[in-house]
Amino acid sequence: MNWYLIYQKEDIDYNRAYIDMYFRSCAKRNVHLDLITPDAFLDVPENSVKGFGADAVINRSRDVNVAYACEKLGIPVFNNSQVCMLGNDKLAAVNYAKAKGVRVMPTFENAEGIEFPFVMKSRAGHGGKEVFLINNEDDLAAVHTDNNSWIYQKVASDTGKDLRVYITGNIITAAMLRISENDFRSNFSLGGTASVYTLSAKETEMVKRLTEGLDIGHCGIDFIFDKGEPVFNEIEDVVGSRMLYKYTDIDVVEAYVDYIDKLLLS
Protein backbone atom coordinates (compact mmCIF):
# COMPACT_ATOMS: atom_id res chain seq x y z
CA MET A 1 0.00 0.00 0.00
CA ASN A 2 1.01 3.59 -0.61
CA TRP A 3 0.10 6.28 1.91
CA TYR A 4 0.82 9.99 2.00
CA LEU A 5 1.60 11.99 5.13
CA ILE A 6 0.89 15.66 4.52
CA TYR A 7 2.41 18.50 6.54
CA GLN A 8 2.82 22.21 5.97
CA LYS A 9 6.42 22.87 4.92
CA GLU A 10 7.06 25.17 7.89
CA ASP A 11 5.93 22.47 10.36
CA ILE A 12 8.16 19.63 9.16
CA ASP A 13 11.41 20.41 11.00
CA TYR A 14 9.66 21.00 14.33
CA ASN A 15 7.78 17.71 14.00
CA ARG A 16 10.59 15.62 12.49
CA ALA A 17 10.84 13.13 15.37
CA TYR A 18 7.08 12.63 15.33
CA ILE A 19 7.08 12.22 11.54
CA ASP A 20 9.78 9.55 11.84
CA MET A 21 7.45 7.58 14.11
CA TYR A 22 4.94 7.40 11.26
CA PHE A 23 7.60 6.07 8.90
CA ARG A 24 8.67 3.40 11.40
CA SER A 25 5.12 2.34 12.14
CA CYS A 26 4.20 2.15 8.46
CA ALA A 27 7.37 0.21 7.59
CA LYS A 28 6.38 -2.48 10.12
CA ARG A 29 3.24 -3.03 8.05
CA ASN A 30 4.94 -2.90 4.63
CA VAL A 31 3.22 0.40 3.91
CA HIS A 32 5.16 2.81 1.70
CA LEU A 33 4.83 6.32 3.13
CA ASP A 34 5.66 9.60 1.38
CA LEU A 35 5.92 12.93 3.19
CA ILE A 36 4.63 15.79 1.07
CA THR A 37 3.15 19.27 1.47
CA PRO A 38 -0.34 20.47 0.46
CA ASP A 39 1.18 22.44 -2.43
CA ALA A 40 2.72 19.22 -3.79
CA PHE A 41 -0.56 17.36 -3.39
CA LEU A 42 -3.11 19.83 -4.74
CA ASP A 43 -3.67 21.66 -7.97
CA VAL A 44 -4.53 25.23 -7.01
CA PRO A 45 -7.04 26.83 -7.44
CA GLU A 46 -8.95 23.73 -8.55
CA ASN A 47 -7.97 21.86 -5.36
CA SER A 48 -7.85 18.56 -7.20
CA VAL A 49 -5.20 15.93 -6.51
CA LYS A 50 -2.19 16.07 -8.84
CA GLY A 51 -2.49 12.52 -10.07
CA PHE A 52 -1.10 10.86 -6.95
CA GLY A 53 -1.93 7.19 -6.49
CA ALA A 54 -2.59 7.07 -2.76
CA ASP A 55 -4.33 4.26 -0.91
CA ALA A 56 -4.73 6.58 2.11
CA VAL A 57 -3.77 10.08 3.21
CA ILE A 58 -2.90 11.18 6.74
CA ASN A 59 -3.56 14.91 6.65
CA ARG A 60 -1.54 16.73 9.32
CA SER A 61 -1.55 20.00 7.37
CA ARG A 62 -4.77 21.57 8.75
CA ASP A 63 -5.73 22.19 5.10
CA VAL A 64 -9.34 21.12 4.66
CA ASN A 65 -8.93 21.32 0.87
CA VAL A 66 -6.70 18.23 1.09
CA ALA A 67 -9.55 16.34 2.73
CA TYR A 68 -12.14 17.62 0.26
CA ALA A 69 -9.97 16.61 -2.72
CA CYS A 70 -9.38 13.12 -1.34
CA GLU A 71 -13.04 12.57 -0.59
CA LYS A 72 -13.99 13.69 -4.09
CA LEU A 73 -11.75 10.95 -5.52
CA GLY A 74 -12.69 8.32 -2.93
CA ILE A 75 -9.26 8.31 -1.26
CA PRO A 76 -9.53 7.52 2.48
CA VAL A 77 -8.28 10.60 4.35
CA PHE A 78 -7.60 10.98 8.06
CA ASN A 79 -8.94 13.21 9.45
CA ASN A 80 -11.86 13.64 7.10
CA SER A 81 -13.15 17.05 6.03
CA GLN A 82 -15.75 17.34 8.80
CA VAL A 83 -13.27 16.73 11.60
CA CYS A 84 -10.62 18.87 9.88
CA MET A 85 -13.07 21.75 9.55
CA LEU A 86 -14.24 21.54 13.17
CA GLY A 87 -10.63 21.35 14.34
CA ASN A 88 -9.60 24.46 12.45
CA ASP A 89 -12.57 26.76 12.93
CA LYS A 90 -13.26 27.51 16.59
CA LEU A 91 -16.61 29.15 15.87
CA ALA A 92 -17.82 26.09 13.96
CA ALA A 93 -16.62 23.86 16.81
CA VAL A 94 -18.42 25.94 19.45
CA ASN A 95 -21.63 25.86 17.43
CA TYR A 96 -21.25 22.11 16.95
CA ALA A 97 -20.82 21.54 20.70
CA LYS A 98 -23.85 23.71 21.48
CA ALA A 99 -25.93 21.72 19.00
CA LYS A 100 -24.83 18.55 20.80
CA GLY A 101 -26.05 19.96 24.12
CA VAL A 102 -22.53 20.39 25.55
CA ARG A 103 -21.86 23.52 27.58
CA VAL A 104 -19.58 26.22 26.14
CA MET A 105 -18.57 29.61 27.46
CA PRO A 106 -20.69 32.48 26.03
CA THR A 107 -19.16 33.18 22.63
CA PHE A 108 -19.51 36.16 20.28
CA GLU A 109 -18.36 36.94 16.75
CA ASN A 110 -17.37 40.49 17.69
CA ALA A 111 -16.35 42.35 20.83
CA GLU A 112 -19.52 44.43 21.02
CA GLY A 113 -21.71 43.54 23.97
CA ILE A 114 -19.15 41.45 25.85
CA GLU A 115 -17.78 42.79 29.13
CA PHE A 116 -14.12 42.90 30.09
CA PRO A 117 -12.26 40.69 30.73
CA PHE A 118 -12.73 38.30 27.84
CA VAL A 119 -10.67 35.88 25.78
CA MET A 120 -10.03 36.70 22.13
CA LYS A 121 -9.12 33.78 19.86
CA SER A 122 -8.25 33.41 16.20
CA ARG A 123 -10.80 31.03 14.70
CA ALA A 124 -8.00 29.13 12.95
CA GLY A 125 -5.36 29.30 15.71
CA HIS A 126 -3.80 26.27 17.37
CA GLY A 127 -1.39 25.39 20.16
CA GLY A 128 -2.48 28.35 22.28
CA LYS A 129 -1.25 30.80 19.63
CA GLU A 130 -3.36 33.82 18.78
CA VAL A 131 -5.23 33.55 22.08
CA PHE A 132 -5.31 36.75 24.16
CA LEU A 133 -6.72 37.76 27.52
CA ILE A 134 -8.33 41.14 26.98
CA ASN A 135 -8.74 43.15 30.19
CA ASN A 136 -9.46 46.60 28.74
CA GLU A 137 -9.61 48.74 25.61
CA ASP A 138 -5.82 49.10 25.52
CA ASP A 139 -5.40 45.31 25.40
CA LEU A 140 -7.93 45.10 22.59
CA ALA A 141 -6.23 47.85 20.60
CA ALA A 142 -2.85 46.15 21.01
CA VAL A 143 -3.99 42.98 19.23
CA HIS A 144 -3.51 43.24 15.49
CA THR A 145 -6.56 41.72 13.83
CA ASP A 146 -5.71 42.30 10.16
CA ASN A 147 -6.47 39.32 7.93
CA ASN A 148 -7.77 37.24 10.83
CA SER A 149 -11.17 36.13 11.97
CA TRP A 150 -11.79 36.01 15.70
CA ILE A 151 -14.17 34.85 18.38
CA TYR A 152 -14.68 36.47 21.78
CA GLN A 153 -15.50 34.43 24.86
CA LYS A 154 -16.34 35.04 28.48
CA VAL A 155 -13.42 34.02 30.70
CA ALA A 156 -13.86 30.71 32.53
CA SER A 157 -13.32 31.04 36.27
CA ASP A 158 -10.62 28.35 36.56
CA THR A 159 -7.91 29.89 34.39
CA GLY A 160 -4.64 28.11 33.64
CA LYS A 161 -6.25 24.68 33.70
CA ASP A 162 -7.67 22.50 30.98
CA LEU A 163 -8.33 18.90 30.02
CA ARG A 164 -7.32 17.25 26.77
CA VAL A 165 -8.99 14.02 25.71
CA TYR A 166 -7.29 12.05 22.95
CA ILE A 167 -9.49 10.18 20.47
CA THR A 168 -8.22 7.53 18.04
CA GLY A 169 -10.64 5.69 15.80
CA ASN A 170 -13.54 7.25 17.75
CA ILE A 171 -12.22 5.61 20.94
CA ILE A 172 -10.94 7.53 23.96
CA THR A 173 -7.19 6.85 24.09
CA ALA A 174 -6.14 8.97 27.07
CA ALA A 175 -6.87 12.13 28.99
CA MET A 176 -4.35 14.65 30.30
CA LEU A 177 -4.88 17.52 32.72
CA ARG A 178 -2.77 20.58 31.91
CA ILE A 179 -2.02 23.32 34.42
CA SER A 180 -0.08 26.57 34.18
CA GLU A 181 0.90 28.61 37.22
CA ASN A 182 1.83 31.73 35.24
CA ASP A 183 -0.43 31.89 32.18
CA PHE A 184 -4.19 31.75 31.65
CA ARG A 185 -3.38 29.29 28.85
CA SER A 186 -2.31 25.85 30.03
CA ASN A 187 -0.84 24.44 26.81
CA PHE A 188 2.01 21.99 27.38
CA SER A 189 3.89 23.56 24.46
CA LEU A 190 3.73 26.92 26.25
CA GLY A 191 5.27 25.60 29.47
CA GLY A 192 2.29 24.14 31.29
CA THR A 193 2.60 20.94 33.30
CA ALA A 194 0.62 17.80 32.54
CA SER A 195 -0.59 14.72 34.36
CA VAL A 196 -2.62 11.65 33.48
CA TYR A 197 -6.29 12.20 34.23
CA THR A 198 -9.15 9.78 34.82
CA LEU A 199 -12.37 11.01 33.24
CA SER A 200 -15.48 11.15 35.36
CA ALA A 201 -18.69 9.58 34.12
CA LYS A 202 -19.98 13.05 33.26
CA GLU A 203 -16.86 13.95 31.31
CA THR A 204 -16.92 10.63 29.45
CA GLU A 205 -20.55 11.21 28.51
CA MET A 206 -19.70 14.69 27.19
CA VAL A 207 -16.93 13.28 25.02
CA LYS A 208 -19.17 10.54 23.66
CA ARG A 209 -21.84 13.10 22.86
CA LEU A 210 -19.31 15.17 20.93
CA THR A 211 -17.87 12.22 19.00
CA GLU A 212 -21.20 10.65 18.14
CA GLY A 213 -21.76 11.00 14.41
CA LEU A 214 -18.15 11.94 13.68
CA ASP A 215 -15.68 9.64 11.94
CA ILE A 216 -12.49 10.52 13.83
CA GLY A 217 -9.09 9.21 12.84
CA HIS A 218 -7.10 10.97 15.54
CA CYS A 219 -7.83 14.25 17.31
CA GLY A 220 -7.99 15.95 20.68
CA ILE A 221 -11.02 17.42 22.41
CA ASP A 222 -10.20 20.14 24.93
CA PHE A 223 -12.22 21.30 27.91
CA ILE A 224 -11.67 24.25 30.23
CA PHE A 225 -13.14 24.56 33.72
CA ASP A 226 -15.66 27.04 35.04
CA LYS A 227 -16.48 26.83 38.75
CA GLY A 228 -15.05 23.33 38.75
CA GLU A 229 -17.21 22.12 35.88
CA PRO A 230 -15.83 21.05 32.47
CA VAL A 231 -16.79 23.29 29.55
CA PHE A 232 -16.07 22.53 25.90
CA ASN A 233 -13.21 24.58 24.52
CA GLU A 234 -12.12 23.27 21.11
CA ILE A 235 -11.29 20.33 18.87
CA GLU A 236 -7.67 19.85 17.83
CA ASP A 237 -7.52 18.22 14.41
CA VAL A 238 -3.70 18.04 14.30
CA VAL A 239 -3.35 17.26 17.98
CA GLY A 240 0.03 17.35 19.70
CA SER A 241 1.11 14.25 21.60
CA ARG A 242 4.37 15.20 23.32
CA MET A 243 2.90 14.97 26.80
CA LEU A 244 1.55 11.48 26.08
CA TYR A 245 5.03 10.26 25.21
CA LYS A 246 6.53 12.02 28.23
CA TYR A 247 4.06 10.91 30.88
CA THR A 248 2.57 7.64 29.58
CA ASP A 249 3.63 4.51 27.72
CA ILE A 250 0.96 5.06 25.05
CA ASP A 251 2.33 5.03 21.50
CA VAL A 252 -0.40 7.05 19.87
CA VAL A 253 1.20 7.02 16.41
CA GLU A 254 1.30 3.22 16.48
CA ALA A 255 -2.35 3.14 17.56
CA TYR A 256 -3.34 5.57 14.80
CA VAL A 257 -1.46 3.75 12.03
CA ASP A 258 -2.82 0.42 13.27
CA TYR A 259 -6.36 1.79 13.18
CA ILE A 260 -5.96 3.04 9.60
CA ASP A 261 -4.31 -0.18 8.43
CA LYS A 262 -7.00 -2.41 9.87
CA LEU A 263 -9.75 -0.15 8.53
CA LEU A 264 -8.33 -0.32 4.99
CA LEU A 265 -7.95 -4.09 5.18
CA SER A 266 -11.45 -4.70 6.53
Residues 77-134 have pLDDT tens digits of: 999 999 999 999 999 999 999 999 999 999 999 888 799 999 999 999 887 778 999 9
Give the helix ranges, DSSP H, for 195-251.
201-211, 242-247
DSSP 3: E
HSE toward the beta carbon, residue 191, CA cutoff 13 A: 6
pLDDT by residue (tens digit) across 24-52?
A: 999 999 999 999 999 999 987 777 787 67
| DSSP string over 12-66 | TTTTHHHHHHHHHHHHHTT-EEEEE-HHHHEETTTTEE-S---SEEEE-S--HHH
Strand partners, 171: 168
Structurally, at CATH architecture level, domain 2-78 sits in 3-Layer(aba) Sandwich (3.40)
Q: Where exactly does CATH 3.40.50.20 map onto the chain?
A: 2-78
The CATH T-level fold of domain 86-247 is D-amino Acid Aminotransferase; Chain A, domain 1 (3.30.470)
- Contact, 164 vs 178, CB < 8 A? yes
- 150-154 vs 158-168, strand pairing mode: unpaired
Q: What residues does CATH 3.30.470.20 cover in the chain?
A: 86-247
d(CA 199, CA 42): 40
